[in-house]
Structure 1
Amino acid sequence: MYLSDKPNYLLIQTLLDLLHQELHLLIDPPDGTKEHPATTCLELWISQPNFTNGMYYIDPNQGSPADALLVYCDFTAAPKTCLSPLQPQVPVKAWLKDSGTNNSFHWLSSKEKGFQFEYLGPDVVQMRFLRLNSRLTSQNITYSCQHGNIQGPGEREPSQELHSRGRREAVFQFESEDLDLLPLRDLAVFGSSDLTQEFGFTVGPVCFS
């Protein structure tokens, strides 16, 4: 509590803030509503252990609830706070046809009718605090194409491979303790301008735990 003979006011204030937060959770526990959001889905689960998976409000920066975020809380295993992209579906088409260059990477956002992925709700401040309150982030991408080779020779196999209605699908799973790596904003694909194979992607929610 002390540095030399002087009080450590910064440490004292930090301890008081933690105590205030714990007392607040005991006296007025969050319920996931707009008026009483939790900091994360983990905090909501601790306060309301009987809650089931669903949409709840959280407020990572714990300021005014006016900027609370509506997120999906997954309580199945370790509680996760999940944000979905506004436009998760990249339609199946021949994205590389007539691309103009051979055997190079192409960002989908730079192609005609391509786009970057935006996510519902969080601003820069809320995302910063959500990361500060998390230790792990994860996100899945589903790649879909017509029957044919999903990958070039010698490339690593995807995490899962599915077959459905004449198409092939591969699910790529991303997980990291470097919380700044996700959510995904864009996708780059490698190929030639004469590639006419049609393919697309489904971007899953980014989850923090």
Structure 2
Amino acid sequence: MGVVGPSFEGVKNTTDKLSQETLLHYDLQGNGAFEHLSSNMFDIYTTVLLLLASPLGSPYYPARTCRDLLISHPKLPDGYYYIDPNEGCPADAIKVFCNFTAGGSTCVTPTRDQLPFQRWTTRIKYYRRKYLWWRRYKGGHMINYSAGKVQLKILRYFSKFAVQKFKFKCMGVVAAYDTQYNSYTSSLKYRGDDGSVHKLLDGEASYYISNDGCQFKTMEEAETEFTIRTNDLSMLPVRDFSVANVKKFSKFGLNIGPVCYL
């Protein structure tokens, strides 16, 4: 017969001396602090976690979402923590930014958050296409994120809406409004996580545009900031984008913000 673990009463008494805050402190240190604890204390620590079902947001004890982590530890500051939406092996836990100030928003960052402001070349003649997806340009590719598709899909299941912010840098092209034609017909297109294609201000999501410097289509660098907010969670994160009427002298770039779920 194996060694019997600590009794419930023993664990209960121990929790009076070993608070969750202390456990959280030790676990987040990541400096081998537990090596100095006895094996019996480690057993108690593990049992306490199981009894309280309280995630720590660390690599070995990730939370399901930032919202769950906030419920367990309401005094934690905003910052980077680990989550595991599929609640399987912690080996596939992902590092995200938890915005507790915003109610426990889980923000997944892109693996490359800045696409350089430059002239983008392609073998496809510009005049043959009004729109061309960024991945079709030399050096372009689909936009990837720190979480895989499976984890994102499960994270969306526990969320009600998603938000993502962008800053589009331009020269000779527009992002949203075009003052020359007094219309939005040439506004940016983007491809959602499910492969669906959308266009800024198409009515399929809530769009917030500020500092629309690209509307004048001048030969000087300008920028337009915009935010996409939607209850159709499959629309985000953005995987690709397309700029209209790109000429040989045109330049553009994009700063990609994290996609945040709540």
Shorter-chain TM band: 0.7 to 0.9
Give distance in 1, aligned partners of 2:122 and 2:136: 14
Which amino acid letter does the alignment assign opposite residue 154 of structure 1?
Answer: N
The structure with the largest helix share of the pair is 2
Indicate the residue corresponding to 2:250 in structure 1: 197
User: Contact conserved, 1:93 with 1:198, CA < 8 A, in 2?
Assistant: yes
Measure how far apart 1:128 and its partner are.
2.0
Aligned to 2:160, the other structure's residue is in SS state coil
Measure how far apart 1:149 and its partner are.
6.2
User: Contact conserved, 1:88 with 1:202, CA < 8 A, in 2?
Assistant: yes
Indicate the residue corresponding to 2:157 in structure 1: 132
Report matched runs for 1:1-209 at 5 Å. 27-95=52-120, 99-102=124-127, 104-120=130-146, 122-146=147-171, 151-152=177-178, 153-156=181-184, 159-161=209-211, 167-192=221-246, 194-209=247-262
Which amino acid letter does the alignment assign opposite residue 29 of structure 1?
Answer: S
Contiguous gaps of at least 5 residues in structure 2: 1-48, 185-200, 202-207, 214-219
Indicate the residue corresponding to 1:4 in structure 2: none
Give distance in 1, aligned partners of 2:67 and 2:54: 13
Measure how far apart 1:76 and its partner are.
1.8
Which amino acid letter does the alignment assign opposite residue 117 of structure 1?
Answer: I
Runs of 4+ in 1 over 6 A off after TM superposition: none
TM-score by length of 1: 0.77
RMSD: 2.7
Moved more, 109-118 or 153-162: 153-162
User: Contact conserved, 1:97 with 1:196, CA < 8 A, in 2?
Assistant: no
Cα deviations by residue, 1:39-85 (Å, 9 ceiling, x for unpaired):
10000011111111111011111122222111111112222111111
Give distance in 1, aligned partners of 2:50 and 2:210: 41
Task: Select the structure with the greater relative contact order (CA < 8 A; seq sep ≥ 6).
Answer: 1
Percent identical: 33
User: Contact conserved, 2:209 with 2:224, CA < 8 A, in 1?
Assistant: yes
Which amino acid letter does the alignment assign opposite residue 102 of structure 2?
Answer: A
Moved more, 91-100 or 175-184: 91-100
User: Contact conserved, 1:57 with 1:70, CA < 8 A, in 2?
Assistant: yes
Measure how far apart 1:99 and its partner are.
5.0
Give distance in 1, aligned partners of 2:104 and 2:57: 14
User: Contact conserved, 1:159 with 1:170, CA < 8 A, in 2?
Assistant: yes
Indicate the residue corresponding to 2:34 in structure 1: none
TM-score by length of 2: 0.62
Give distance in 2, aligned partners of 1:116 and 1:123: 13
